[in-house]
Structure 1
Amino acid sequence: MDKLSVIGVVLALFAIVGGSILKGAGVGGLVNPAAFVIVLVGTLAAIMIHTPMTTFKHAMKILRWAFKPPALDPEGLIARIVEWSGVARKQGLLALEGNAESEPDPFLKKGLQMLVDGAEPDAIRAILEVDMQTREHFDQQSAKVFEGMGIYAPTLGIIGAVLGLMAVMKNLADPSKLGHGIAAAFTATIYGIASANLFFLPIAAKLKAAIADQTRLREMTIEGLIAISQGENPKNIESKLKGFLH
């Protein structure tokens, strides 16, 4: 669990609700079903039009990474690669066949299988880099779904405010309704700007960071497998891969 994200969400809610109370608007001033529909439902509608179905589904799937990033163990992976390199030097690459069959990570499994099959280092690098870049691109496009929502939400907030002011203009003859109507109109603006800057854009940034960490781990994996295929000394491999930890 990413405690920083959880604390951030709590502080974001406290900032809006607490600020509203301290400013005298109260919690009730933030409750506006019409603003909710215009801003949040409208933002969801806009991003659905903007995004292909597969990307949208994947974005909803990886949303949890902002609060629970994928478990990465680069030190453990380095230790495994160094162990495999020792086995390969002593017994040959075919001795890694059992490791390839039992490996749960598809990316690592594919690389190990190519080692066992005797693929050339350049071929291993080319194939794995295509896999890595394709996955990174798809994940990044999914993260940009929340970035897009952060762009649309403030604009929808302005639309909600304008619609609210239009309703106020219809009641100019009744001054008792003007103050409440204007306050309700600007609630949509709060929804739009607050949701963009306190949720959508930070979520997109956190997802991009998680994706970058996974890509870095795959880059390290490629370098390790290439080193094994070239028969490098296990100690040299360990020193090389530890450079990725900085």
Structure 2
Amino acid sequence: MDKTSLIGIVVSIIAVAFGFMYGGGTLALLWSPESFVLVLGATAGAVILSFTMKEVKTIPKLFKKLFNDKPMDFMGLIDMMENLAGKARREGLLSLENEIEQIDNVFIARGMRSAVDGVDQTVIGEMLEFDISAMEARHQRGAKVFEAAGGYCPTIGIMGTVMHMVIIMTELSHPEALGPKISAAFLATLYGVAFANLFFFPFAEKLKGKSKEESLYLTIALEGIIGVQQGMNPVALREKLLVFLPEGVRNAGGEIADVQKEAEA
């Protein structure tokens, strides 16, 4: 599980609850089932109306992706590309047939298969870049689902407040019953703003971040595949791919120095 997603949700809820209770309120005052159903139900309906059924069906997968902690193994990828480049230089590209069968990443396996089959590197580059662009577009569309929910939610909350106030205006002759109804009316606005800014918009940003990380991983893989096909020196290819990573990650463990020493030996 992605701990940052869980921690963020817990911290947000605790902060809101503490702030309300510190001011003299109780958690029971924050619960209004009619406002809750109205805001979330109408928001869900608006989101369904905004997207195709195919996109709506991906929402459970989006939640799974939000809480799935599957970090990209950048250093493992670079190590693999270095090893493939070394074997290709020693034994030729055709010697990579068996290694390709062991690669579980469809994108990398497809690219390496094309390289071994002698497909022109320009064609390979365009093909893989299109795959990356298509992946980014899918992820961007997924993030837009939560962005749309975050946009609709506050407005629907205000709509819920207005609806409650309409009911309240018809019962002014019974002032003793107005308190709970007014509370429920304002809770609709609170729910709308809270769900949008504490959940939906942060969910969208989280998906965008995960998409960027995966895009970087595939970009490094693409450059590695082209480098292997070109017959680049393994050390030179490793240095080229490490440039894509932040300085701290790039120099962790002294990988460049270790490889250079082995090459010199």
Question: TM-score w.r.t. structure 1 length?
Answer: 0.96
Q: CA deviation at 1:177?
A: 1.6
Mapped contact 2:143–2:207 kept (Cα < 8 A): yes
Letter in 1 for 2:60: M
Q: Equivalent residues in 2 for 1:137-176 (5 A)?
A: 137-176=137-176
Decide whether the 8 Å contact of 1:146 with 1:203 is kept in 2. yes
Q: How many Å apart are 1:213 and its aligned residue?
A: 0.2
Instruction: Report the equivalent of 1:124.
Output: 124
Work out the CA distance in 2 between the residues paired with 1:211 and 1:17.
32
Query: Unaligned regions of 5+ residues in structure 2, if any?
Result: 247-265
Q: 1:210: which partner in 2?
A: 210
Deviates more, 1:199-208 or 1:12-21: 12-21
Which digits, 9 at most, give the CA deviation of each residue in 1:187-225, with x for residues without a partner? 001110000000010011011000100001101110111
Structure 1 residue 15: Cα displacement: 2.2
Corresponding position of 1:225: 225
Partner Cα distance (1:214, 1:96) in 2: 25
Query: What CA deviation, in whole Å up to 9, does each residue of 1:8-33 have, x standing for no partner?
Result: 11111112222332233311111111
1:108 — aligned with what?
A: 108
Return structure 1 stretches of 4+ with deviation > 4 angstroms: none
Structure-2 residue corresponding to 1:5: 5
SS in structure 1 at match of 2:89 = helix
Question: For the residues of structure 2 that align with 1:53 and 1:92, how far apart are their CA atoms?
Answer: 48
For residues 125 and 117 of structure 2, the distance between their equivalents in structure 1, rounded to whole angstroms, comes to 14
**Counterpart residue identity of residue 69, structure 1:** D
Give the letter for the 1:85 counterpart: A
**Partners of 1:150 and 1:200 within 8 A in 2:** yes
Alignment RMSD (CA, Å): 1.3
Question: 2:116–2:229: 8 Å Cα contact kept in structure 1?
Answer: no
Q: Give the whole-Å Cα distance in 2 for the aligned partners of 1:72 and 1:56.
A: 27
1:81 equivalent in structure 2: 81
Q: Secondary structure at the match of 1:177?
A: helix
Q: How far apart in 2 are the matches of 1:144 and 1:44? A: 14
Cα contact 1:63–1:207 (8 A) shared by 2: no
> TM-score, structure 2 length as denominator?
0.89
Matches within 5 A, 1:15-26: 15-26=15-26
Q: For residues 135 and 146 of structure 1, what CA distance do their matches in structure 2 show? A: 18
Give yes or no for contact 1:55–1:138 (8 Å, CA) kept in 2. no
Q: Equivalents in 2 of 1:114, 1:25: separation in Å?
A: 65
Distance 1:108 1:43 in 2: 40
Q: Secondary structure of 2:217's partner?
A: helix
Q: Give CA deviations for 1:78-126 in whole Å, capped at 9, x if unaligned.
A: 0000000001111111111112222211111101110111111101101
